[in-house]
Amino acid sequence: MKLEKALHPSFVKRLQHMRFVGKFAEEPKKKGSFFVVCLSPIPNIIEVAFGEDSYIFEGLYKNKQNEKFFASIKEGKREKQLLLFRLSYMENTLYVELIDAEEREIANSYKMIPSPKLSVTKAREVFERKLEKGYVSFLVPKFPHDFGTPGLLWYEGRIYGNVSLKPSISAITYREQRRDVRYLDVDDWMQYADMNVENSLFFVRTEVYEQLEKQIKENGKQIEISDTRKQEKGNEWNEREYSFIQCVKQIIAEKELYIDESDIYNFHICVKTNLLTIVGGMPGIGKSQFVQAYAEALGLTFGKDFIWIPVSPSYQEPHDVLGYLHSNGTYMESETKLVRTLLDAAENPNQLYMIVFDEMNLSYIEHWFTPFLSLLQLDRKNRILTLYAASNEKEQDVPPQIEIGDNVIFIGTVNFDETTKELSDRLLDRVNVVFLQKIPFCEMSMVERKMINIPFSLSVSALEFRMNWVHHKAMLDVFTEEELELLDKVHQLLFLHDASKGISFRVASAIASYLQNIPYDEGRSLLISREEAFDLQIKQRILTKLRGTEATMRALLREEGKKEMSLVQLLQSSLANRVSTFEHSLLYMKQKQRELELYGYVK
């Protein structure tokens, strides 16, 4: 079939996975071709091109798939074959590719009943919970939105009707709107289906389809489930980790710093689950002293296993912090002592080392920190820092390469004013930016200052810090259904406004790592609630990349409007309310709205 208008590439990709049923057409005849009458629904975009009730598609005998098909059936029985086929698209023309055939009495028309895909235990219970909740999507791989929306669904012994599905995040995801789905238990489902496509899509006669709809309406049962949100399967309480955190708080008290407790917990989780963490906040709030207090609690010694590198605006190249190979062949280390510290760390893998880049964004970080940006995301065996090309001409005190182990903690402190540089998306995609909150002066007297007797040495080993205090679980096992749905919707919003923005798999994995590594107190309660932790991760991992002109940011940050939902509105939606109040994220976006009003730009 020749089309007047070219099909969109995204539709062509979906077309490859669509399936249809039909029968051989007697007319028209054409040399080298055969024709098939489609008896099942076709996508709306193709239906419009026909402008008639009968949908006849041409197939080519020379097509390899068709040659294979015709070799397997007898010529004289074509009129009794119910055909399963797909459509291929070449040069603005649709052609039939035959897949399978069933010999049977052929009806005048067929309907499709898809089956959703779930890769979880207790799948039917999960699916029915999604139907009942209404705001959580599910996948229907063989029924993209191009067909409209399914009227019936089949899953694990039940046929579901009275559905009111709405297209959701992608071309094959849906969510239930009305939440009044009914079902029938069916013992022998295959007696209804004339064609089965990989147990994901079933073609039934139109009259059978209508009978099923009627039976469900008259005798269908209502879904009854208990709303069991994913319970927090806590890791065992780690007394040493909890005591270490108390030690951090005690040192902060002794230094007369005023740091919000949730900031202490947040920073600790970020540091133990990432090699690099950035600390931000207004000047004078205590960023540097806080980092020093944390290093002291770890048992680190300033100038030995804890080095402080004040970043200069003149830093432009990696050799400014590492060193360089002199023209005489000698490697000259930088005065920062960074290389010497990394060498010591490589020789003592169970000793923790902390390297702090103070006022990290006084210069463009990507200029002098480039060698580290990609390395910090690699597995330890591949985390090799190359200082210079290996050569046997001159013996060096410094080797050409250094392995960066898990025992190294990188911290950066940053300010945000007219003297500093913006943090790039490449950097922000790899780190948490922890913004320290200022405690109101009137509440300072309420900050608890109790002294704690630590029952053990303050020295914390790298094995303990990176292994015993860190738990690993598959990303999808960490998130609840609502959290995944919200991440998808946030990504969709960001991506629509800027194709370079969104939530990558790396970011989602980092958020999952954070959520499963929140420490517990003595009473086995999380030090930061799951809701607040998710909120902090949205702010620290995603919202930090929000920047641009009014043309791009206004729609994302607006609080009202009848057009597409904004990011602010999404985080206040019923779906978001099932995850968190998003107090931190909404306040952060409020600040960005103010920037937009003042400067016409979000930085």
Tens of pLDDT along 185-207? 998 999 999 999 999 999 999 99
Instruction: Kindly tell me if the per-residue pLDDT of 325 is higher than 70.
Output: yes
Strands of the 153-155 sheet, one edge to the other: 153-155, 158-161, 182-185, 221-222
C-alpha to C-alpha distance for 567 and 542, rounded to whole angstroms: 11
Q: Are strands 138-139 and 153-155 parallel, antiparallel or unpaired?
A: unpaired
Asked whether the bond before 399 is cis by omega within 30 degrees of 0, the reply is no
Taking residues 428-432, report their average pLDDT.
Answer: 92
Tens of pLDDT along 361-374? 999 998 999 989 88
Q: What is the pLDDT of residue 449?
A: 57
DSSP H/E element including 138: strand 138-139
Which of 22-36, 190-204, 559-573: highest mean pLDDT?
Answer: 190-204
Tens of pLDDT along 222-258? 988 765 544 445 567 788 999 999 999 999 988 989 8
Q: Burial of 530 by CB count in 10 Å (0-12 exposed, 13-18 middle, 19+ buried)?
A: middle
> What is the percent of the chain where pLDDT is above 90?
60
Q: Are strands 548-549 and 306-310 parallel, antiparallel or unpaired?
A: unpaired
Instruction: Kindly tell me if the per-residue pLDDT of 454 is higher than 80.
Output: no
Q: Reduced to 3 states, what is the DSSP secondary structure of residue 317?
A: coil
Cα-flanking dihedrals φ and ψ of residue 160, to 5°?
-110, 135
Token pair listed for 242: 């909890």
Token pair listed for 393: 């001409």
Instruction: Kindly tell me if the per-residue pLDDT of 448 is higher than 70.
Output: no
SS (H, E, C) 489-537: HHHHHHHHHCCCCCCCHHHHHHHHHHHCCCCECCCCCECCCHHHHHHHH
Tens of pLDDT along 132-142? 888 888 999 99
Taking residues 80-108, report their average pLDDT.
Answer: 92
Q: Which of 513, 496, 497 is nearest to 505 (CA)?
A: 513
Crossing angle for the helix pair 550-557 and 583-599, nearest 10 degrees? Answer: 150
Q: Which of 1, 197, 231, 172 is nearest to 94 (CA)?
A: 1
What number of residues does the chain have?
603
Instruction: Kindly tell me if the per-residue pLDDT of 416 is higher than 80.
Output: yes
> What is the percent of the chain where pLDDT is above 70?
93
Please give the residue that has the higher pLDDT: either 178 or 201.
201
Instruction: Kindly tell me if the per-residue pLDDT of 455 is higher than 50.
Output: no
Tens of pLDDT along 331-363? 899 999 999 999 999 999 999 999 999 999 999
Adjacent-strand bridge partners of 167 = 174
In the chain, where the domains are located: 9-106, 111-222, 239-386+397-463, 480-507+523-602
Please give the residue that has the higher pLDDT: either 51 or 584.
584
Average pLDDT, the chain: 89
- Tabulate helix, strand, coil % of the chain (nearest 5): 35, 20, 40
Q: What is the pLDDT of residue 519?
A: 95
Q: What is the pLDDT of residue 456?
A: 45
Q: What is the pLDDT of residue 438?
A: 85
Cα-flanking dihedrals φ and ψ of residue 507, to 5°?
-65, -45
CA contacts within 13 A on the Cβ side of 580: 22
Instruction: Kindly tell me if the per-residue pLDDT of 262 is higher than 70.
Output: yes
Q: Is 274 in contact with 432 (CB distance < 8 Å)?
A: yes
Residues 402/405/407/408 CA torsion (nearest 10 deg): 60
Q: Which fold has domain 239-386+397-463?
A: Rossmann fold (3.40.50)
C-alpha to C-alpha distance for 271 and 268, rounded to whole angstroms: 5
Adjacent-strand bridge partners of 56 = 37
Distances in Å between the alpha carbon of 317 and those of 312, 324, 367, 369, 370? Answer: 12, 10, 5, 8, 8
Tens of pLDDT along 280-301? 988 889 999 999 999 999 999 9
Q: What is the pLDDT of residue 305?
A: 94
Q: Distance from CA of residue 554 to its chain's centroid?
A: 24
Q: What is the pLDDT of residue 522?
A: 87
Q: Which of 149, 153, 155 is nearest to 174 (CA)?
A: 149
Taking residues 387-404, report their average pLDDT.
Answer: 83
- The mean-pLDDT minimum among 196-210, 375-389, 573-587 falls in 375-389
Residue 153: other Cβ atoms inside 10 A:
24
